[in-house]
């Protein structure tokens, strides 16, 4: 078992967080006959729920996936659950939505302020999943049995994940809210300036712009636009570089994360003010 150092997630934890934070994926199935699989692949976007370490997929009944084998090439198998478990799956989905909405309804003004800054198109994960229950479409509910897991990082590199480690790792409590949280931060010019100050104060790096990439209980990743090599004409160029900022203490919930973020913002503002002789 690989233990993570302070502020750093294992690859398995990163994969599980990505799965838990999202609700939609691209499903690929291949045709098959008595002679084996053919090269014809059908792809479409489907909604899913990540529950107790396993994805459950909602496939529209008229989708071509339902007339092909329940198999995903190289990644795992999908199996339709029995009729006796359909209601259990729906109840489980409804409970997950209820719990997430409860957290959102009980958020402090500081947290709700960040969420309200997010764009109109960026709905919460629970709101997107609610469409499954409210819509008129019929679905085939499937269980997805993982056979392999690969993380593709921001540089396009692939990392194979040990399945035993994946099974034993837990999804981050911030994952269901991370998309709206990150979008709310990135939509705020004041908070993006704070991310730029993080780069300057904590890493001694000057960033021309900055965006939050991910957030979890241990910290957050920032994409900063920083200077690189100087060209022949004497002008500097910029490149986007990823930085990791650990929290002083792990955040068990979205409230604790936002509280730590505000503390860090106040800290860097005081530091910069002292540099300029204003503190």
- Looking at the predicted structure, is the pLDDT value of residue 274 above 60? yes
CA distances from 58 to 22, 67, 148, 196, 206 (A): 14, 15, 21, 40, 46
pLDDT class for 41, splitting at 50, 70, 90? confident
Instruction: Output DSSP code: residue 5.
Output: P
- Looking at the predicted structure, is the pLDDT value of residue 62 above 80? no
- Looking at the predicted structure, is the pLDDT value of residue 232 above 70? no
**Dist. CA 197–CA 270, nearest whole Å:** 11
Between residues 92 and 123, which one has the greater pLDDT?
92
**Dist. CA 201–CA 266, nearest whole Å:** 12
For the chain, give the mean pLDDT.
83
pLDDT at 277: 61
* 34-48, 104-118, 149-163 — most confident range: 104-118
CA–CA–CA angle 149, 94, 14 (5° rounding): 25
Residue-wise pLDDT for 126-173, tens only, equals: 988 898 888 778 888 888 888 888 887 766 677 888 889 888 988 888
pLDDT at 204: 93
**Dist. CA 89–CA 111, nearest whole Å:** 30
Between residues 74 and 260, which one has the greater pLDDT?
260
pLDDT at 66: 63
Domains defined along the chain, listed by start: 11-171 (2.30.110.10), 188-275 (3.20.180.10)
pLDDT class for 230, splitting at 50, 70, 90? low
**Dist. CA 189–CA 210, nearest whole Å:** 10
- Looking at the predicted structure, is the pLDDT value of residue 112 above 70? yes
pLDDT at 123: 82
Residue-wise pLDDT for 197-218, tens only, equals: 999 999 999 999 999 988 999 9
- Looking at the predicted structure, is the pLDDT value of residue 220 above 90? yes
pLDDT at 278: 52
Between residues 155 and 187, which one has the greater pLDDT?
187
Instruction: Output DSSP code: residue 27.
Output: E
Question: Contact, 71 vs 62, CB < 8 A?
Answer: no
Region for residue 153 given its phi and psi (left: phi exceeds 0; alpha: psi -120 to 50; beta: otherwise): beta
Q: What is the mean pLDDT of residues 40-68?
A: 79
Helix and strand numbers (H, E) in the chain are 8, 11
- Looking at the predicted structure, is the pLDDT value of residue 72 above 60? no
Helix (H) or strand (E) holding 90: helix 83-105
CA atoms within 13 A on the CB side of 160: 5
Q: Which residue has the tokens 């009980």?
A: 106
Between β-strands 209-216 and 139-146, what pairing exists: parallel, antiparallel or unpaired? unpaired
Question: Contact, 219 vs 246, CB < 8 A?
Answer: yes
Structure tokens at 240: 């986007």
């Amino acid at each position: 078992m690989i233990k993570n150092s302070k502020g750093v997630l294992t690859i398995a934890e990163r994969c599980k967080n990505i799965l838990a934070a999202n609700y939609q994926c691209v499903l690929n199935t291949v045709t098959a006959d008595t002679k084996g699989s053919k090269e014809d692949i059908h792809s479409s976007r489907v909604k899913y729920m990540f529950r107790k370490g396993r994805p459950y997929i909602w496939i529209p009944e008229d989708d071509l996936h339902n007339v092909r084998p329940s198999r995903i090439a190289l990644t795992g198998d999908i199996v339709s659950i029995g009729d006796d478990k359909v209601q259990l799956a729906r109840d489980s989905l409804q409970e997950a939505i209820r719990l997430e909405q409860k957290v959102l309804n009980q958020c402090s003004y500081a947290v709700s302020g960040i969420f309200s800054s997010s764009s109109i198109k960026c709905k919460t994960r629970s709101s997107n999943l609610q469409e499954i229950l409210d819509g008129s479409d019929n679905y085939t509910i499937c269980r997805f049995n993982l056979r392999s897991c690969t993380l593709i990082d921001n540089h396009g590199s692939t990392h194979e994940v040990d399945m035993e480690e994946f099974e034993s790792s837990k999804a981050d409590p911030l994952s269901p809210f991370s998309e709206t949280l990150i979008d709310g931060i990135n939509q705020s010019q004041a908070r993006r300036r704070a991310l730029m100050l993080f780069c300057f104060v904590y890493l001694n790096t000057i960033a021309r712009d900055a965006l939050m990439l991910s957030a979890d209980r241990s910290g957050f990743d920032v994409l900063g636009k920083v200077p690189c090599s100087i060209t022949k004409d004497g002008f500097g160029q910029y490149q986007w570089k990823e930085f990791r900022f650990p929290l002083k203490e792990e955040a068990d919930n979205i409230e604790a994360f936002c509280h730590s973020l505000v503390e860090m913002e106040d800290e860097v503002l005081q530091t910069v003010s002292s540099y300029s002789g204003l503190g």
